[in-house]
Chains A and B, each alone.
Chain A
Amino acid sequence: GAGVSQSPSNKVTEKGKDVELRCDPISGHTALYWYRQSLGQGLEFLIYFQGNSAPDKSGLPSDRFSAERTGGSVSTLTIQRTQQEDSAVYLCASSPDRANSPLHFGNGTRLTVT
């Protein structure tokens, strides 16, 4: 079946511009996570959504970052006024409606801010 789909796969933007990254989770998965990974570094948690519950936004690094999940499916991560330090791979993952379930990752969006 289809896995987690992310778009675009690559995005180059100028400093100060806004960007939107999209994640389409596996059908039926209620939990959705966003992470980012800088080159050679570990995964940094950003935000997660679980069903209709309020999202856990505790990992968002600044108020320039926001995310939404419409209809419990597709999610969009928005970064406003991008900075060079935002350059990283942004990974989305989803998991089924069972706690302690493993995550399934998309291919990621490689963001480069010039």
Chain B
Amino acid sequence: RKEVEQDPGPFNVPEGATVAFNCTYSNSASQSFFWYRQDCRKEPKLLMSVYSSGNEDGRFTAQLNRASQYISLLIRDSKLSDSATYLCVVFTGAGSYQLTFGKGTKLSVIP
């Protein structure tokens, strides 16, 4: 099993749709998790952290399932501007600077 796995997509959804991505990780000691967004030919930008209790930021909701070792990102009411590649990031272990990026899931929101 790879350290961090994401469905590469592409996910093609109409405007206004709800879409969810999962990211699985193999190291049960992983402590911190993040979602990044990367636009075409741009650098990744932090979208949100993922907390154990789940967290929401506007139309975006991130959740962590430690038992099944995955994190998820839910986007409600998709906008054209949400089209991007979404990367999950997993830190390995407590007090760690070691991290692994997923290869990303590509989202295209269609008018």
Please, which residues of chain A bring their CB within 8 A of the CB of B41?
Answer: 89
Question: Which 3 residue pairs of A and B lie closest in terms of their CB atoms, listed nearest first?
Answer: A42-B103, A100-B32, A105-B43
On A, residues with C-beta under 8 Å from B are 31, 35, 41-43, 45, 48, 50, 56, 89, 91, 95, 99-100, 102-108
A43 touches B97 (CB 8 A): no
Given known A91-B43, A104-B46, A106-B43, contact A99–B102 (CB-CB < 8 A): no
Return the chain B residue nearest A31 by Cβ: B97
Q: How large is the interface on B (under 10, 10 to 19, 20 to 34, 35 or more residues)?
A: 20 to 34
B44 touches A105 (CB 8 A): yes
B residues 85-111 touching A (CB-CB < 8 Å): 87, 89, 91, 94-99, 101-104
Give chain B's interface secondary structure class: loop
CA–CA, A108 to B42, complex, Å?
8
24 of the cross-chain contacts (CB-CB < 8 Å) are: A31-B97, A42-B87, A42-B101, A42-B102, A42-B103, A43-B44, A43-B87, A50-B97, A56-B98, A89-B41, A95-B97, A99-B91, A99-B94, A99-B95, A99-B96, A100-B95, A100-B96, A100-B97, A102-B46, A102-B49, A104-B46, A106-B43, A107-B42, A107-B43
CA–CA, A45 to B89, complex, Å?
12
On B, residues with C-beta under 8 Å from A are 31-32, 34, 41-46, 49, 87, 89, 91, 94-99, 101-104
CA–CA, A37 to B102, complex, Å?
13
